Structure 1
Amino acid sequence: MTTTEHRVGQRAPLTRERIIDAALRYIDSHGLGELSMHKLGAELGVKAMSLYKHVVNKDDLLDGVVEQLWSEVEDAALVDGDWRKGYESFAYSLREMVHRHPGAAFLITSHGIMPASSLRCIQAHITAATDSGVSEERAYAWLRTITSFALGTAFNDVAWSSSQQECQPNTVAELVRPDVPPELVAVAEIFCGQADPDAQFELGLDLMLRGIDS
Structure 2
Amino acid sequence: MVATSEASAGRERAPLSRRRIIDAAARYIDTHGLEGLSMHKLGAELDVKAMSLYNHVANKDDLLDGVMELFWEEVESNAPAKPDWREGYRSFAHALRDTVHRHARSARLSASQRTMPEPALRCLQAHVGAATNKGVPEECAYALLRTITSYALGTALVEATWGIAQAGCRPVTSVSDLVRPGIPEELVGVAQVFCIQSDPEAHFELGLDLMLRDTGDTWELVEKVSV
TM-score normalised by L of structure 1: 0.88
Q: Identity percentage over the alignment?
A: 61
Structure 1 residue aligned with 2:4: none
What do residues 113-143 of structure 1 show as CA deviations (whole Å, max 9, x unaligned)?
1021111110000000000000001000100
Contact map agreement 1:28 1:103 (CA 8 A) in 2: yes
| Aligned counterpart for 2:81 among listed residues 73, 79, 82 | 79
Aligned to 1:29: 31
Question: 2:172 corresponds to which residue?
Answer: 167
Looking at structure 2, the residues matched to 167 and 156 of structure 1 have their Cα atoms a distance apart, in angstroms, of 12
User: Which one has a larger percent helix, Structure 1 or Structure 2?
Assistant: 1
Deviations 1:124-172 (Å, cap 9, x if unpaired)?
A: 000000000000010001000000100110111122129x98532xx20
Deviation of 1:193 after TM superposition, in Å, equals: 1.4
User: Using a 3 Å threshold, how does the CA distance of structure 1 residues 107 and 175 change in structure 2: closer, same or farther?
Assistant: closer
Structure 2 segments unaligned to the other structure (5+ residues): 1-8, 218-227
Alignment of 1:208 onto 2:208:
no
* One-letter identity of the residue aligned with 2:78: A
Please show how residues 95-174 of structure 1 align to structure 2 within 5 Å.
Answer: 95-161=97-163, 166-168=171-173, 171-174=174-177
Deviates more, 1:106-115 or 1:141-150: 106-115
Return the alpha-carbon distance in structure 2 between the equivalents of residues 44 and 212 of structure 1: 54
Show structure 1 runs of 5+ residues with no match: 1-5
User: How many Å separate the matches in 1 of 2:147 and 2:214?
Assistant: 12
Contact 1:23 1:40 in 2 (8 A): yes
Change (3 A) 1:174 1:89: closer
RMSD across aligned C-alpha pairs, in angstroms? Answer: 2.0
Q: Distance in 2 between matches of 1:67 and 1:40?
A: 18
